[in-house]
Amino acid sequence: MSDQNLFTRMANGFDHAARFAELPDGRVYTYQDVLDVSARFANVLTSMGVVPGDRVAVQVPKSIEALMLYLGTVRAGAVFLPLNTAYTPAEVRYFLGNATPKVFVCDPASAQALAPVAAEAGARLETLGVWSAEAGEKAGTMAALGLAASPEFETVPRKGPDLAAILYTSGTTGRSKGAMLSHDNLYSNSAALAEHWRFTARDVLIHVLPIYHTHGLFVASNVTLIAGGSMIFLPKFDLDQVLAAMPRASAMMGVPTFYTRLLDDPRFTGEIAGNMRLFVSGSAPLLAETHRAFEARTGHRILERYGMTETNMNTSNPYEGERRAGTVGFALPGVDLRIVDPETGAPVADGQIGVIEVKGPNVFQGYWQMPEKTAEEMRPDGFFITGDLAMRDPDGYVVIVGRAKDLIISGGLNIYPKEVEEAIDALEGVLESAVIGVPHPDFGEGVVAVVVREPGASLEEAAVQAALSDQLAKFKQPKRVFFVEALPRNTMGKVQKKALREAHSGLFSAC
C-alpha cells in the first residue's frame, strides 16, 4: 500500500521554488522552506524519542514556526494536539492528563507555570515563541533545536486510518472530548474544499485565523498547501493589516466578526476588495444582514459553510450559483448528510427541523479514550450524530437552527432559539440577540432574550415584548429581555449560551 501520510500527499504538488507565505516581519517562506523547516522539527521530535502514534501537544502563539511544527509532527508519524492559547494551566492539566503526550511545547512566557503540569503528565516540556533574528533564545528551545537540526527527513509512511491529530471539543457539556482525526480525514476534506472553492497555485490567502482550531489549521492551511497557493500569514485579525493585504490577495477565510469589523470601517470598499475572488465565513452563524450589507458594499457574496471539530467541513454554499444568506448550502462532495428525528432517527421532510447526521471520509475516528461516548454518537450505519438542529429549505439548502442542547422546552412545547432571535434581530434598534431557556418552576424552562442594541438606540424590554406579541406564539415569546454591551463569545466567535444560561439560572426561582 502506498504511503498515505497527509504530508506526503500534500507535498506531491509542491513547486519548491514557489512562494508559500509572506510574514509580517518581511520574511518569505518558499515551499522549499516548508520542506526544510518541517524536516528540522521532525528530526528534533524523533531525537526526543517520539515514535509514530505518540502525541505532541502544543500551546504556543501563532507563528509560521508553529505551523511547521504541525507539519513536522505529521511527517514524524506522530499525532498533533493543538491547544487553545487561552487555556489556563488548570485546563491544560486535563488535556495533558487525558492525551498523555510524549512532548508538550508551550509559550516560553508560560513555561514556569506549565512545568509542573507537564511533569505530572509525564511529558517532556519544550518551548516555542515567535521567532525573529532579534528574539534569539527568547524564541524557545524548539526554535534553537530546529536551527541545529538537519533539513533532511524521510517522511514516515502512514496508513489512511492512522491518527494525524487530536482536537478537543470546546467542552460546553461536561469534559472536553478529544476528536481523533486520521490522515484520510484531513486530506480528503481539504482536497474536497480546494476543488469545491476553486483554489489553485495562483491564489493568495489572507490567513488571520488561529491555528489551534479546525478552521485555521486544517481548512485554511491545508487547502493552501494542497493547492500549492500562498498566504499572507498574519498573527491575528488586525484591521489595518488586512486592509493593506487585500489588494494583493485573492481569498480570505474568517468568522462573522471579521466581516462586521470590515463593514464598520469606511476604508473597506469594493475597490480595495477588487482583486478578491472569495470570502469564506464559518465557525459561527453569519447574520443575513451582514451578508446583504457585504454584498452591497463590495459586490461579493460571502460563502458560508458548516463544519465541526469531529468532521471538518460538511457543507458549503456553492462557489458557482446562489450563495443563500442564512444557509450553509449543500453537502460537500463525498459527504452524506441527512436530517432526522432525534428520537426515532427517521428522516424528516424538507421544511421540518431535525438533527443533522453525516457520514463520509471526513468523519473522525472516535473520541480519544472514550469508546462509550463514541458509541453513543455513532449510528450503526456509520452516521455521526452532530447534535446540530437544521432543516432543508424548498431548494435543498441546509439551514442551521441551533444546537440540540440549546433547544428550549417550555410547557412541553419545543422552541427553537433561532426563530425567536430572527424575530428580535429584525426589530429596529437591535444589533443582535441570543435566546436561551432558563429553569422555570411552572413551565420547565422560560424563554429569555439577551439583546445588544445598535449604537444610540434606546430600545427597552417592554418595547421588544410588545413588538413580538403578534409575531410569535405566546409560548415562544421571551418572558424577560435583558440588554448587554456585547454577547459572550469564544475565540472563534460562537456565542457562549452556556455562560448566558448560568448568568440567568436563578431568574425565575422566586416565581
CB atoms within 10 A of CB 303: 22
Residue 413 pairs in a beta bridge with 410
Task: Give the 3-state secondary structure of residue 479.
Answer: coil
Contacts of 380 (CB under 8 A, 6+ apart): none
CA distances from 242 to 69, 140, 212 (A): 25, 28, 20
Strand ranges (E), 128-266: 163-168, 178-182, 204-207, 230-233, 251-254
pLDDT for 136: 62
Q: Where would I find the beta strands (DSSP E) of 123-258?
A: 124-127, 163-168, 178-182, 204-207, 230-233, 251-254
Q: What is the pLDDT of residue 132?
A: 74
Mean pLDDT lowest among 296-300, 366-370, 396-400, 417-421? 417-421
Q: By the 8 A CB rule, do 450 and 462 touch?
A: no
Strands 444-453 and 430-440: antiparallel
Q: Are 266 and 255 in contact, with CB atoms under 8 Å apart?
A: no
Mean pLDDT taken over the chain:
92
Beta bridge partners of residue 307, listed in sequence order: 313
pLDDT in tens, 308-348: 999 999 999 999 999 999 899 999 999 999 999 988 889 99
Work out the average pLDDT over 232-248. Answer: 96
By the 8 A CB rule, do 255 and 283 touch?
yes
Of residues 137 and 202, the one with the higher pLDDT is: 202
pLDDT confidence of residue 41: 98
Can you give the pLDDT at residue 174?
54
pTM for this entry:
0.85
pLDDT value at residue 511: 47
- pLDDT at residue 170 in the model: 64
Q: Taking the CB of residue 285, how many other CB atoms lie within 10 A of it?
A: 21
**How big is the chain by its Cα radius of gyration, in Å?**
23
> Are the beta carbons of 166 and 182 closer than 8 angstroms?
no
Reported confidence tier of residue 408, pLDDT bands at 50, 70, 90: confident
Is the predicted pLDDT of residue 47 greater than 60, yes or no?
yes
Burial per residue of 381-413, b for 16 or more beta-carbon CB atoms within 10 angstroms, e otherwise: eebbbbbbbbbbeeeebbbbbbbeebbbebeee
pLDDT above 70 for 137: no
Lowest mean pLDDT among 156-170, 268-282, 380-394, 441-455: 441-455
CA distances from 49 to 53, 55, 98, 153, 251 (A): 12, 11, 20, 15, 40
pLDDT number for residue 172: 42
In a 13 Å sphere around the CA of 439, the CA atoms on its Cβ side amount to: 8
- How many helical (H) and strand (E) elements, i.e. helices and strands, does the chain have? 16, 24
Helix ranges restricted to H, 232-384: 239-245, 256-263, 288-298, 371-376
pLDDT in tens, 180-239: 999 999 999 999 999 999 999 999 999 999 999 899 999 999 999 999 999 999 999 999
Q: In which band, very low, low, confident or very high, does the pLDDT at 37 lie, cut at 50, 70 and 90?
A: very high
- 379 vs 407, residue with greater confidence: 379
Closest CA to 64 of 7, 124, 146: 146
Percent of the chain scored above 70 by pLDDT?
97
Contact 455, 423 (CB under 8 A): no
Half-sphere CA count of 142, side-chain side, radius 13 A: 38
Residue 173: the pLDDT is: 43
Contacts of 444 (CB under 8 A, 6+ apart): 409, 410, 411, 412
Distance CA 282, CA 313 (A): 10
pLDDT at res. 88 = 87
List CB contacts of 69: < 8 A, sequence separation 6 or more. 41, 56, 58, 60, 105, 128, 142
Write out the three cell numbers for 299.
459586490
Least confident of 184-188, 297-301, 419-423: 419-423
Greater pLDDT, 402 or 199:
199
Tens digits of residue pLDDT in 449-508? 999 999 999 999 999 999 998 888 788 899 999 999 999 987 767 888 888 988 898 888
